Chains A and B, each alone.
Chain A
Amino acid sequence: MADDSLASHRRDPIKSSVGNVAAQRRRQNAATVGKERRESLVRAKRLCRVGATGEGDVLVEENHMMTDEEGFLLEDQTSSAVKELKSAVVYQGKGAMQKRVNALRELRRLLSKSEFPPVEAALKAGAIPLLVQCLSFGSPDEQLLEAAWCLTNIAAGKPEETKALLPALPLLIAHLGEKSSLPVAEQCAWALGNVAGEGEELRKVLLSQGALPPLARMVLPNKGSTVRTAAWALSNLIKGPDPKAATELIKVDGVLDAILRHLRKSDEELATEVAWVVVYLSALSNFATGVLVKSDALQPLVERLATSNSLQLLIPVLRSLGNLVAGDSHTTSTVLIPGHEITDGVIKVLVKCLKSDHRVLKKEASWVLSNIAAGSIEHKQLIYSSEAVPLLLRLLSTAPFDIRKEVAYVLGNLCVAPATGEGKPDLIKENLVSLVQRGCLSGFIDLVRSADIEAARLGLQFTELVLRGMPNGDGPKLVEQEDGIDAMERYQFHENEDLRNMANGLVDKYFGEDYGVNE
Chain B
Amino acid sequence: MAMVVDYKHDSSFPYWTSIRRRFDPDSPFFSSGNLERELLAKQVALDLTEDERNQLEKMIDNDARGVFCPIVGCGARLTSLEDFEDHYIARHTASCSVCSRVYPTSRLLSIHVSEAHDSFFQAKVARGYAMYECLVEGCDLKFKNYKGRQQHLVDKHKFPTSFEFFNKAHPSKKKRLKNQQKRRMHKKDEEASSKMEVENETIDGLVSAVSKLSTSDSSPSNISFGRRNARGLTFVPRSIHAPREKK
Contacts and interface: CB of A to CB of B under 8 A. Distances in A.
Given A412-B18, A416-B17, A311 B38 contact: no
B198 interface: no
Given A43-B38, A501-B12, A505-B160, A280 B204 contact: no
Contacts, number: 200
Contact of B33 (A41, A364, A465, A506): A364
A505 B22 CA distance: 30
Contacts of A284: 24-25
B33 A462 contact: no
B11 to A, nearest CB: 9
Contacts of B92: 490
Interface residues of A, number: 86
A495 B71 contact: yes
A428 to B, nearest CB: 10
A490 B88 contact: yes
A490 B206 CA distance: 9
B240 interface: no
A155 B67 CA distance: 35
B55 A505 contact: no
Contacts of A457: 14
Interface in A489-507: 489-490, 492-496, 498, 500-502, 504-507
Interface string A119-133: 000000000000000
Consensus secondary structure, chain B interface: loop
Given A492-B206, A496-B70, A505-B10, A360 B32 contact: yes
A495 B71 CA distance: 6
Interface in B44-102: 44, 52, 55-56, 59-60, 67-73, 78, 81-82, 84-85, 88, 92
A42 B12 contact: no
Interface string B129-172: 00000000000000000000000000000111111000011100
A377 to B, nearest CB: 11
Interface string A462-495: 1011000000000000001000011001101111
B160 A508 contact: yes
Consensus secondary structure, chain A interface: helix
B70 A495 contact: yes
B25 A239 contact: yes
B176 to A, nearest CB: 5
B188 interface: no
A516 B173 CA distance: 6
Bin chain B's interface residue count. Answer: 35 or more
Nearest to B87: A451
Contacts of B183: 513
B21 A371 contact: yes
Contacts of A311: 36, 40
A480 B56 contact: no
Contacts of A240: 24-26
Nearest to B204: A489
B67 A493 contact: no
Contact of A371 (B12, B20, B37): B20
Given A495-B225, A519-B173, 14 more contacts: A38-B59, A46-B41, A241-B25, A279-B25, A326-B23, A367-B29, A380-B18, A452-B67, A464-B16, A486-B169, A494-B70, A495-B70, A507-B160, A513-B180
16 contacts: A41-B42, A240-B24, A325-B20, A371-B20, A416-B16, A425-B16, A451-B68, A451-B70, A464-B13, A489-B170, A489-B205, A490-B104, A494-B71, A495-B72, A495-B226, A513-B162
Interface of A: 38-39, 41-44, 46, 239-241, 276, 279-280, 283-284, 311-312, 315-316, 319, 323, 325-327, 329, 332, 359-360, 363-364, 367, 370-371, 373-374, 380, 401-402, 409, 412-413, 415-419, 424-425, 449-453, 455, 457, 461-462, 464-465, 480, 485-486, 489-490, 492-496, 498, 500-502, 504-509, 511-513, 515-517, 519
Interface of B: 5, 7-8, 10, 12-26, 29-30, 32-33, 35-42, 44, 52, 55-56, 59-60, 67-73, 78, 81-82, 84-85, 88, 92, 104-105, 108, 158-163, 168-170, 173, 176-177, 180, 183, 204-206, 225-226
